[in-house]
Amino acid sequence: MIRRPVVIAGARPNFPKVAPLMRALAGEGVPARLVHTGQHYDAAMSASFFECLDIPEPAANLGVGSGSHATQTAAVMVAIETWLESADADALLVVGDVNSTVACALVAAKAGIPVGHVEAGLRSFDRSMPEEINRVMVDALATWLFTPSADGDENLRAEGVEPERIHLVGNVMVDSLYYALPEARRRSTVADLGLTREGFGLVTLHRPALVDHPDRLADVARTLSEIGKRLPLVFPVHPRTRQMLQRCDIPLDPRRVQIVEPLGYLDFLALEEAAALVLTDSGGVQEETSVLGVPCLTLRDNTERPVTVTRGTNRLVGFDRGTIVSAAHAALARGRRPADIPLWDGQACQRIAQVLTRGAPAPQFVPPALAAHGSEEFRAGRARIPSRPGEE
């Protein structure tokens, strides 16, 4: 049973994952301390999420900032090691697959602090992705492996992980989505950008496999301008991508593709939910669009989230212009389709907190209690979840 957990966050996709985790642990009477590594630091990439998602003030910000993989990972390791020396932590919880995740897991494991990995077991089987290396390493080190979907369990078992370390809990990103959706729906983001519901497409791109290759990025920019002839696109641009577009002087037709700064979580969710189509290479966005039922085209050759393709709305389209344009037309013709993914029900973090604080086995299947989402009870973390299949 843990009593003094520390939760780590560092980069944009970590914040929607730690927000419900902090709430759920507090709800079980074990409030966690949050440490922000400072991997992401622009207000639009970090601070804005604390406000939208009611994330408590971090106990520390390690302020590591940007750098090469080794520089950034090492800076996080040195800083978290020093911080942990006087922290008296009895568990360290990391989320996702960014450099902060692996750096903190490695330090804690060597310091004898048990590690919990939230979003364990995901595999793209593509070691050219830095995140894949991070995933494999963190899963090897963690005591508790909290998986979002059954494919994660299978991947871990295939790597020889003991079954008692694996807990299928569902998708924590979806906890935040349901928490924030009612408020996102009240926002005027769509109209403020001169758009209409289901009358536009939303774009996010930031993976090195795409944006760090100028020819590929230029070709995708032309593809977006072409899709924009039929459907206006809005593109909140990640800092990595903005730098490459500027450095390589890659044009995007402003009549067809509206470029904006990275958006706060609620504004982004408002657009994502109202979009007719999403084009992305983000992991989290593949998941969110699946839950929202919004057609999603992923500009990658693989995904570590296959369930979004088999049960959600996601389709892998690579980088080829003809393939992407025809997939966009087909997706628009097909329209929305609600996904049906077990345990992506907004209660994953409650299951994690129960495993950590009571040692209770995570339920293997819980019917989605969709009616509870957005209710005061749900937002306060008080919605009751059945602990056995079929239990009411």
- With respect to ligand UD1, which residue has the nearer C-beta, 238 or 305? 238
Does 236 interact with ligand UDP (rule: CB under 6 A)?
A: yes
Residue matched to tokens 């939760």: 7
CA distance 3 to 265: 30
Q: Which does 39 bind (CB under 5 to 8 A by kind): ligand UDP, ligand UD1, none?
A: ligand UD1
Residue 206: active-site member: yes
- With respect to ligand UD1, which residue has the nearer C-beta, 42 or 192? 42
Q: Which does 240 bind (CB under 5 to 8 A by kind): ligand UDP, ligand UD1, none?
A: ligand UD1
Question: Residue 388: how many CB atoms within 10 A of its CB?
Answer: 9
- With respect to ligand UDP, which residue has the nearer C-beta, 286 or 354? 286
Site for ligand UD1 in 157-216 (CB under 6 A): 206
Q: Which does 285 bind (CB under 5 to 8 A by kind): ligand UDP, ligand UD1, none?
A: ligand UDP
Query: Which residue stretch of 8-16, 72-80, 107-115, 179-187 sits at the interface with ligand UDP (rule: CB under 6 A)?
Result: 8-16
User: Please, where are the H alpha helices in 53-142?
Assistant: 69-85, 99-110, 130-141
Q: What is the DSSP string of 280-323?
A: E--HHHHHHHHHHT--EEE-SS--S-THHHHTSSEEE-TT-HHH
**For the chain, counts of helices (H) and of strands (E):** 17, 13
Question: Please, are residues 250 and 261 in contact by the beta-carbon 8 Å criterion?
Answer: no
Of 72, 100, 101, 204, which one interacts with ligand UDP (CB under 6 A)?
Answer: 204
Q: Side-chain half-sphere of 9: how many Cα atoms within 13 Å?
A: 29
133-136: long-range pairs with CB below 8 Å, 24+: 133/102, 134/97, 134/98, 134/99, 134/101, 134/102, 135/97, 135/304
Q: What is the DSSP string of 192-204?
A: HTT--TTS-EEEE
CA distance 107 to 313: 38
Q: Which does 146 bind (CB under 5 to 8 A by kind): ligand UD1, ligand UDP, none?
A: none
Query: Which residue stretch of 163-171, 214-222, 276-284, 376-384 sits at the interface with ligand UDP (rule: CB under 6 A)?
Result: 276-284
Does 80 interact with ligand UD1 (rule: CB under 6 A)?
A: no
- With respect to ligand UD1, which residue has the nearer C-beta, 7 or 356? 7
Does 246 interact with ligand UD1 (rule: CB under 6 A)?
A: no
Does 135 interact with ligand UD1 (rule: CB under 6 A)?
A: no
Q: Find the catalytic residue in 206, 213, 329, 373.
A: 206
Of 3, 63, 66, 196, which one interacts with ligand UD1 (CB under 6 A)?
Answer: 66
Residues that bind ligand UD1 (CB under 6 A): 11-13, 39-42, 45, 66, 72, 97-99, 130-131, 206, 238-240, 243
Residues annotated catalytic, as ranges:
206
